[in-house]
Amino acid sequence: MKNIRDLTLPELKEYFESIGDKKFRAIQTYEWLWKKNVRYFADMSNLSLTLREQLSKDFFIRTISTDAIQQSADGTIKIRFKTEDGHLMEGVLIPTEKRFTACVSSQIGCSLTCAFCATGKMDRIRNLEFDEIYDQVAILNEYCEKHFGQKLTNIVFMGMGEPLLNYKNVLKSIDRITATDAMAMSPKRITVSTAGVAKMIRQLGDDKVRFNLALSLHAATDKKRDEIMPINESNHIDVLIEALNYFYQLTKNDITLEYILFKDKNDSIEDAEQLIKVYRKIPTHLINVIEYNPVAGVPFVKPNEDTTQKFTDYLAKHRVNVRLRRSRGKDIDAACGQLANKGTVAS
């Protein structure tokens, strides 16, 4: 049996012709799969019972299920998903006054071992398939409509895992998310965040993707970045700068630098000066300065408000487009760097 969502619409039409049925049944089925997000052939009510039984004999629909849900005091919703083979990963719905953002995972676990990240303490079990990623977005969108009466406005690939180490499935999921016969989300409302895989950043440029890119920088010198992000040892900052310029040259898509502040580690004015130097070398439109979120067993601390303000003010004074991103969902371990399949309660 094949996963029916691996088939393109033309392939699905060929299938219906091969069983002696009409091509328009393919369009009906495709709509059930990608617009209405049904997970069982029995629910495709405008298909005959005989046809639904035939489909269930020839195909399966790979699904994920909602395993647990938590809601933060600030309205953020974290959902723990379970795959059909029993693995867990998390997605987050982040509501603000003007935006409703889905933060989705691309891998089960992670292999990068960033020193500040809870996910980095987990083993990478496997990549998520493209339709498992799509279903995270679909389910988070359902919750957004249910709780806030709105559809998602934005999607960020900033959950568990490194998206560019699951390149094929991430791009295929975005293709479906943005397709007019599926979710029809604008690619300009999608941001893929990477810890810095220079080769794959260049590949994004070659593939002329239409979504935006964020680099999790977090330190502006190789010495400091090596200490907190082992991936930097094989993807030095100058190599990343070259890759990001190549990406922008071919796509003209927005690039954001993400920079978590750690007390006495990367929060000095000297660190800000080094960050400005990197900023000047990249066609980036924004630096997101991010509050550090505590992770058990990790020896990093959030700087005080005065230090944070001085850091961001220094950047702004030197004509850097900077935004301080306040963390949301900290009380349910849903904030940046906290996702680790724990602390949730049964739904």
Among candidates 339, 308, 340, which has minimal Cα distance to 325? 308
Q: What are phi and psi of 242, to 5 degrees?
A: -60, -45
Q: How far apart are CA 172 and CA 157, in angstroms?
A: 13
Encode the chain (347 residues) as per-residue pLDDT tens digits: 899 999 999 999 999 999 999 999 999 999 999 999 999 999 999 999 999 999 999 999 999 999 999 988 888 999 999 999 999 999 999 999 889 999 999 999 998 888 888 877 788 899 999 999 999 999 999 999 999 999 999 999 999 999 999 999 999 999 999 999 999 999 999 999 999 999 999 999 999 999 999 999 999 999 999 999 999 999 999 999 999 999 999 999 999 999 999 999 999 999 999 999 999 999 998 999 998 887 777 888 999 999 999 999 999 999 999 999 876 656 655 555 444 555 444 33
Among candidates 82, 158, 169, which has minimal Cα distance to 131? 169
Q: Is 53 a residue of the active site?
A: no
Q: What are phi and psi of 49, to 5 degrees?
A: -60, -40
Residue 279 CB burial class (10 angstroms; 0-12, 13-18, ≥19) = buried
Say which of 103, 114, 144, 336 is annotated catalytic.
Answer: 336
Q: How far apart are CA 22 and CA 191, in angstroms?
A: 39
What's at 107, amino acid-wise? Q
Question: Which domains are present in the chain?
Answer: 2-60 (1.10.150.530), 85-332 (3.20.20.70)
Cβ-proximal residues to 318 (8 Å cutoff; 6+ apart), any chain: 276
| DSSP reduced 3-state for 60 | strand
pTM above 0.85, yes or no: yes
Q: Is 336 a residue of the active site?
A: yes
Say which of 90, 162, 258, 291 is annotated catalytic.
Answer: 90
Task: Find how far residue 105's CA is from the centre of its chain.
Answer: 5
